[in-house]
Structure 1
Amino acid sequence: MPTLSLYQKIGLVILSISVGMCLPNPTRNDALKDPSPRVSPPSHSSQPSQREFIFPRSLPPHTKIQVLDTGISLLLLGFQSGGETFSFLWDTGSDISFYEGSDSLYAKEFQIGEKKLTIRRGEGILPDGIQGLLGLDAFRSSCVFWDGNLLYWFSGDSPFCDHPDAYLGTGLKILSTKQKGEHSYVQFEYPKSFLSYAHLDTGASLSLLPKGERDEFLGEKRVFRPGNRILSLDHWQSREPLTLFAKSGFREEYQKVQFLTGISLENFDLSGDKDKEEVWVIGLGVLRTRPLFWDFSKKRIGIIHQEN
């Protein structure tokens, strides 16, 4: 049975934010249980509009996957197994992948396009309506390009992974990151003059950031922790830009970012030697506003620069 690491805790805690709304899947809509009042998904209108990316040259062989952005999570659609169709939550905050099932199998095979994956069974881990989760293990030795409602998945030896700039153009900015195990952390500045690293997590709907002096308070979010415990976090909107740093020195700015505060190491029952940088998270509210390149084998992550 899959277990939850620190990274998975953060991802799944944030998955439960703002979930008076429904999470759709191919067959039905299931509302997640949340003690807080019904709310709307975070607004992205203050960020650059998501336009379909135009590739400057033809792409090498790849698997193209439809992406459904529910407002609080990303669902990858179209996986087949045993004559059934499955959707998987994409969560780079999770080490492992699993499908939700009550069958007696330890694992089973899923296929999408030419790709085949063997995924373990989990039971009672994900909220109702989420059929499974794709974590970092599913993407080892590969790279992806996510652009709105499409995910392009390439094998690790693809020329796209080796030379992404040839296919994505000069707008590609490779971010300044560091690794902790398989997990990637990006260098950021927020508030002004405070520099640190934040975990890049597609399974988190909102970011976790330090608070600035003039940030706008939007209320509280009540979120679930493992063990069905509830934690109240403050919800803010930034009044100054969040900056992510590229290796070239380029600074990509994000305006009016919605984020949470109130997470501490003690909230996660961590040992005292854990690095505080494990607390900060860059979630979907930021990531969805730029096309994203992620090379899981070479540990390179880039965004396509867009003017604010």
Structure 2
Amino acid sequence: MVERSASDAALLASIRERVHATLLVLLIALRPLVWDGDPTQPANLAYLVLAVIAVSVVVIEGWAGSVSSWRWTFSGALFALIVAALIPACVRSPLPMEGGALWLMLAVHLGLAFYLMQALPGRERLAFAALAAGLVGEVLVAHGQRLWVLPGMAAASANGEFAAIETVGGDLAERIANGGVYGTFTLANTFAAYLVLVVPPLLVSAWTRSADRWSRAVVTLAAGLAAWSFVGASSKGAVLAIAIASSMGWVIVRRDRWRWLPLALVAVALSALALRPALWEPMQASTRVRAGYWLGASTLIAERPIAGHGIGAFPTLAPAAMPLWA
């Protein structure tokens, strides 16, 4: 009887391990691959269902006594309070369904973070492999866009096929001509931000922990391809973020006379832009659109600084709040 109980316990532990391993790989590897900016898309909804299943698994394990204690952080608790505080914003949203979908997505991702905190310890190498797999998938999609999709869009734009949706300032044509790859994301900036967040931790993990040489080779190759994709994304915001982060790190780490080198480089860059206005030309359309967004957002914030206009209200209200030149 005792042997049978031990055998049943071992079988249950094996099943739990396989379930968590499968969920961990799917949740980490698929997150970037199923996101296109619309929370109501079937692929994203399926991912959210998968996340709910994962959270349900650990909750059931806790109810059954299989979890001795929950792992949590103060930052996670603070984010949970913020998500809860956004519930009234769903009610005030001019598009309640979309606002509710965005709020639900935030709540589910909070639950996903909770699940990862419970499931990740002891499975770090598996999570590392899943993160690398997701990166490779994104990079392959991006290279396909760079080789085939973007040239096709440029040809269609040259033939006037996008004339009906072109803006007064020619922003669409400018983005097609100077814009970059975006992977499975809606915007190149989002894709570049993903690369900035994922590639450095992968490289650090591969070269500072006890990873085998094949893992290091694969990650290094993927990082190289990702760097090419990053250049192809043409994301000025991501480049600026890297420059700021690198400069801050340099100033913090260095203690010699070269500590303030980033400030000198910033001064040189600003001087070059002031002396050569032509350097701004590739960024004018993009800068104009962003400035319009910021001014429109500031106008809407000033109208309701406390209560706000509701989740998802900006696309509906922004056209009336943004300046005409944006």
TM value normalised by structure 2: 0.25
For the pair shown, the structure with the greater C-alpha radius of gyration is: 2
Structure richer in strand, relative to its length? 1
Return the structure number with greater helix share. Answer: 2
Q: Provide TM-score, normalisation by structure 1.
A: 0.26
